[in-house]
Structure 1
Amino acid sequence: MSGRRNLTAILSLLTIGAALSIGMARAAEDVTEDQIIRALAPARKPLTRGLSVGPQTQTDPAAFAAEGQFVQKFRNRATRSLSAAEREEIAAVVKDKPKIDLEINFDYNSANISARSLPSVQALGRALSNPDLKGSTFVVAGHTDAAGGDTYNQDLSERRADSIKRYLVEKFGIAGTDLVTVGYGKTKLKDPANPLAEVNRRVQVANMDNKATASK
C-alpha cells in the first residue's frame, strides 16, 4: 500500500509540474506592452547636446515630407482597395522602420481573434496608447502561412488586419486614421524554409513616426 501511495504522489507531482510548465510556456509567448514600446520606439541620431535644451536629433526634412505624403496617401484607405503595387510600396517604406511581429492566432478560417491571443492584442493596444507612441501612424500588416490558394490567403490576411484595427479602435480608442492596414497573404513568409510554420501566421506592426500628419 505504501509503495502504491508513493507512486500516486509522484504521478500527481509530475502532472502538476507538467501543467505549470505548459502555463509558463503559454505566458512566455505573450508579448508585453514594454516589449512592443521598445520595438516600435523611433531611432534618433544625436547631434549635439546644448547647455539648456538637451540632446538634439537629426531629421531629414525631405525624407520627413516624403513620408508625410506617403501617410496621407494611404490613411483612410480600405484594406481591400490597395493594389498589389501599393502593397509593395508600403512594404518598401516600412522596411527600415521600427517594427514588431506578433504571432496572433485567429479562429479557424476566421478573422476572429482567438482568446489565446487576446493578451498580446491588448498589450499592443496599451503600447500604442502610451505617450511615447501615441499620435504616430502605424502600418498593421496581416500575413498567413502557405496553406491554401493565393486569393484565399490574400483575403484572409486583409480581414485579419482589419480585425486587429477594429479591436484597437473599439477597445482602446485609437484613431482609425492612424492605422494603415494591409494584407500580404502568403507572399512574405517569415520562415520560407517552413512555409506552414506558425511564425508565418502573424501581424506585423510598423511605426511610421510621422506625428505631423497623424491624428491627435
Structure 2
Amino acid sequence: MLKSFGKVNSTSGRATLVCATLLALTAGLAHAGDGVSADQIRDALTKPRISRSMTAPAPDATASAAQGKFVASLRNRPTRSLSLGEREQIATIAREKPAIDLEITFDYNSAEISQKAMPQVAALGQALSDPGLKGSTFVVAGHTDATGGEEYNQELSERRAESIKRHLVDKYGVAAADLVAVGYGKSKPKDAANPADPTNRRVEVVTMTDKTASK
C-alpha cells in the first residue's frame, strides 16, 4: 500500500497528506516512496478494487440507481456543505471503488502544497487528464491523525482536500464538477490501533463513477 497525507506534525513542523484507498486495502500498488507515476495512478483508478465475495450479494438495479443518483448529486458541491450523513455514505460507497494513495506534503499548519510534493501532484494531474479517466467522478477525501482537537482536524482535512482539488482544476484543467472534496478529520484512521501514527494522515482519491456514468 501507498502511504498517506493529512495534517500537522508537531515534531517535524511538516504536515503530510495523501490521496488514498478508502477503508479497504488494495493489493499490488507501488509505494509513494517509489515515485508513483501518472501511468500507475491511472491504472489504479481504473482497475477493480477487490473481487466481491461470492457470498456477498450484488447490488440490485434499484440500489445501483440510487447510488448513481447520490454520486451525481455530489458534483459541484462545496466541501463544507456535505453533512455527516453524506460523508458517511460517500465512505461506504467508496469501499469497493478503484483507489490509490499518493504521498503529498504540506507546509506546517497550512493547506499549501509543499514544493517537494509538486512532482507527485503533477503525476496525479496528468493521470486525471488522461482521456480514459477524464469525465469520471472522483472523491478526494482528506484525513488526519488523532493529534489535536476534532474540530481543528476536520477543518484541516477539508482545506487540504480542497487545496488538491483547486490545484488539479487550475493547473491541469480537470473539471471541478468531476472532483468531490471531502473531509473526515481524525474520524477514520487507517491504523485504528495507532491513531496518532503518521500513516493516518492522508487524502484518498477514489473513482466513484466512470465517465459514462457521471454524465
Residue in structure 2 matched with residue 23 of structure 1 by the alignment: none
Larger Rg: 1
Richer in helix (by share) = 1
Q: Which runs of 5+ in 1 are unaligned?
A: 1-26, 45-58
1:154-173 → structure 2 map (5 Å cutoff): 154-173=154-173
Residue in structure 2 matched with residue 191 of structure 1 by the alignment: 191
- Count of matched residue positions in the alignment of Structure 1 and Structure 2: 176
CA RMSD of aligned residues (A): 2.2
Structure 2 CA distance for aligned equivalents of residues 194 and 115 of structure 1: 29
Structure 2 CA distance for aligned equivalents of residues 37 and 83 of structure 1: 30
**TM-score with structure 1 length normalisation?**
0.75
Q: 1:42 to 1:70 in 2, by over 3 A?
A: farther
Preserved CA contact (<8 Å) 1:145 1:198: yes
Q: 1:91 to 1:82 in 2, by over 3 A?
A: same
1:30 aligns with 2:35: yes
How far off its partner does 1:68 sit? 2.6
Q: 1:31 to 1:81 in 2, by over 3 A?
A: same
**What SS does structure 2 have at the residue aligned with 1:126?**
helix
Q: Which runs of 5+ in 2 are unaligned?
A: 1-31, 50-58
**What SS does structure 2 have at the residue aligned with 1:205?**
strand
Identity value in percent: 61
**Which piece of structure 1 moves more, 194-203 or 131-140?**
194-203
How far off its partner does 1:42 sit? 4.1
Structure 2 CA distance for aligned equivalents of residues 81 and 195 of structure 1: 27
How far off its partner does 1:62 sit? 4.5
Structure 2 CA distance for aligned equivalents of residues 37 and 208 of structure 1: 14
Preserved CA contact (<8 Å) 2:133 2:210: no
**Which piece of structure 1 moves more, 203-212 or 76-85?**
203-212
Q: 1:76 to 1:130 in 2, by over 3 A?
A: same
Residue in structure 1 matched with residue 212 of structure 2 by the alignment: 212
**TM-score with structure 2 length normalisation?**
0.75
1:40 aligns with 2:45: yes
Structure 1 CA distance for aligned equivalents of residues 42 and 63 of structure 2: 23
Structure 2 CA distance for aligned equivalents of residues 149 and 99 of structure 1: 28
**What SS does structure 1 have at the residue aligned with 2:182?**
strand
